[in-house]
Chain A
Amino acid sequence: MSVATLDLSRIAPAFADPVRESQAVFREVMECMARPGRITRFERAPQAPTGLSKAAGAVALTLFDFETLVWLDPALADSEAEAWLRFHCGCPLTRNAQEAAFAIVTDMAKAPSLAAFNQGDAKYPDRSTTVILQIASLEGGPVVTLSGPGIQTTTDIAPQGLPQDFWTQIETNQAQFQFGVDVLLVSGDQLLALPRTTTAQIKGG
């Protein structure tokens, strides 16, 4: 991947207090991963550069570093967002979805399927990719009923802007447990998690 010259004056600031803010963001992400479908808000997170939502930026600042290979949507290649991630997280980028620890998908129309990312190893299923999908909204879309670990009975979500076959992909992903990716849906400053354990049923579907 070509590395554009780093123009520091163009790089927007990250967390003002990285220690406290990354802790607060992590606790929310942890609660969301433990309770699939739960929506959280990162109101105080810094504004991320064009193309990257506040929530995706907050997760990146909290979890990415030199140890995590990141697949960044080609739509953001050579963008301010890419420079921002490189500068603040120090994360290496990859075009190979199979080797990514994290992926940020921003262009849903051209999004690779979930199966294109690392599905983990039989002995090390934790090595699979965590896929951050940036979509139009976490609310107001078709209602989907979730169940599985972390959910007492069922819980409804209604995200907007997902590819048509997305819930079929989630079904395939769940069915191959212990393999599978874990998904974070983000929009604006909001986030919800769909770990590989979650079963989804389209309402009326």
Chain B
Amino acid sequence: MSTPVPARANAPERYYNYAYLDEQTKRMIRRSILKALAIPGYQVPFGSREMPVPYGWGTGGIQLTAAIIGPDDVYKCIDQGADDTTNAVSIRRFFANVADVATTEDTGEATIIQTRHRIPEKPLKQGQVLVYQVPQPEPLRGLEARETETRAMHAYEEYGLQYVSLYENVSAYGRIAATAGYPVMVEERYLMSPSPIPKFDNPKMAQNEAVMLFGAGREKRIYAVPPFTRVRSLDFEDYPFETQTWEETCALCGAEDSYLDEVILDDAGDKMFVCSDSHHCAERREAGHVGPMAGHTLDQDAALKEPAQ
């Protein structure tokens, strides 16, 4: 245990509890996290609280972070791989303010990484927690609107519908069309939505060293994948699971194996491909790697980002 830091909860400028949530809400979320870890891939219902950001801006992830964070943590927040988007910056500032934590953009030194729609390129390690923001936790929702029905499907492992839907996809398009939020089986028992990460990131979930927590605020669900857990993307014998690949390399750092975003450079339609993981790209450039457009200054937030296929 860490040495208790003198509490600032009663300081005049702080009218909220440490890490914003009240202690009773934290306990409720903490109990849900423990059950989520004990039943990998299963969606635990929890009493989601109002947060000072609108739904869709990561209320589930923010509540998870608030329930686990302590003053010794080093916090990183990314939005589609980037540390410097308005959303990521404001969530990072929020926790620096309400939880007295150090923040970082460095994937390697973070203890808690909150993410929307990406898994960092750098392999995570023991002692790190990856908190996913989840808009829709139910992988079967597109096929079945009723929660009572989907809950029964998970309870009795009736996943035929999902396989039929994917197979229709394959026969219609010759490939599985879903490129983000591609469903996974956890420990060959629970079908799970990986959140809208590109399927490029799906293989990183399997046997990951870090603790992975998923929070859906509006839908009031928490689920988890413990470290070293089997996570398999759905596939068929004749159509094995494949991730996206690019003919291009990162224009800035030359990376050949990272997830690339297409960035429109001007009205004439000129574009380039760059790493979606901004810290990964910066770290590579600092290490001397150069891409074909190295030196080009990129304003990630202002540029029109199109997720590439």
Contact = CB atoms under 8 A, between A and B. Distances in A.
Interface string B27-67: 11011111111111010110000000000000000000001
Interface string A1-37: 0000000000000001111111111111111011100
A23 B227 contact: no
B171 interface: no
Contacts of A34: 37, 211, 224, 226-227
B143 interface: no
Contacts of A150: 37, 226-229
A81 to B, nearest CB: 20
A42 B1 contact: yes
Contact of A195 (B9, B32, B37, B68): B37
Interface string A28-57: 111101110000011111000000000000
Nearest to A120: B39
Band of interface residues on B:
35 or more
Nearest to B72: A24
A123 B211 contact: no
A132 B1 CA distance: 20
Which of B24, B27, B151 lies at the interface centre, i.e. has the most chain A CB atoms within 10 A of its CB? B27
B18 A126 contact: no
A202 interface: no
B68 A27 contact: yes
A30 to B, nearest CB: 6
Contact of B228 (A26, A62, A149, A177): A149
B219 interface: no
B31 to A, nearest CB: 6
A151 B228 contact: yes
A109 interface: no
B227 to A, nearest CB: 6
A134 to B, nearest CB: 18
Given A19-B18, A35-B227, A63-B27, A29 B4 contact: no
A24 B2 contact: yes
A30 B211 contact: yes
Contact of A30 (B19, B33, B207): B33
B84 to A, nearest CB: 28
B34 A20 contact: no
A106 interface: no
Interface in A114-164: 122-126, 128, 130, 149-152
Interface centre among B9, B34, B189, B211 (most CB of A within 10 A): B34
Nearest to B186: A149
A65 B24 contact: yes
A196 B207 CA distance: 19
Interface in B143-175: 151-152, 154-156
Given A149-B228, A149-B229, A177 B189 contact: yes
B32 A20 contact: no
Which of B23, B30, B35, B230 has most A Cβ within 10 Å?
B35
A73 interface: no
Interface string B6-35: 010100000001110001101110111111
A183 to B, nearest CB: 10
A43 B1 contact: yes
Interface in A51-87: 62-63, 65, 67-68
Contact of B34 (A33, A45, A149, A178): A33
A33 B27 CA distance: 16
Contacts of B31: 63, 68, 101
Given A20-B4, A20-B70, A65-B24, 15 more contacts: A26-B26, A30-B68, A30-B211, A43-B1, A44-B3, A63-B31, A122-B155, A123-B151, A126-B35, A130-B34, A130-B35, A149-B40, A150-B228, A151-B228, A152-B228
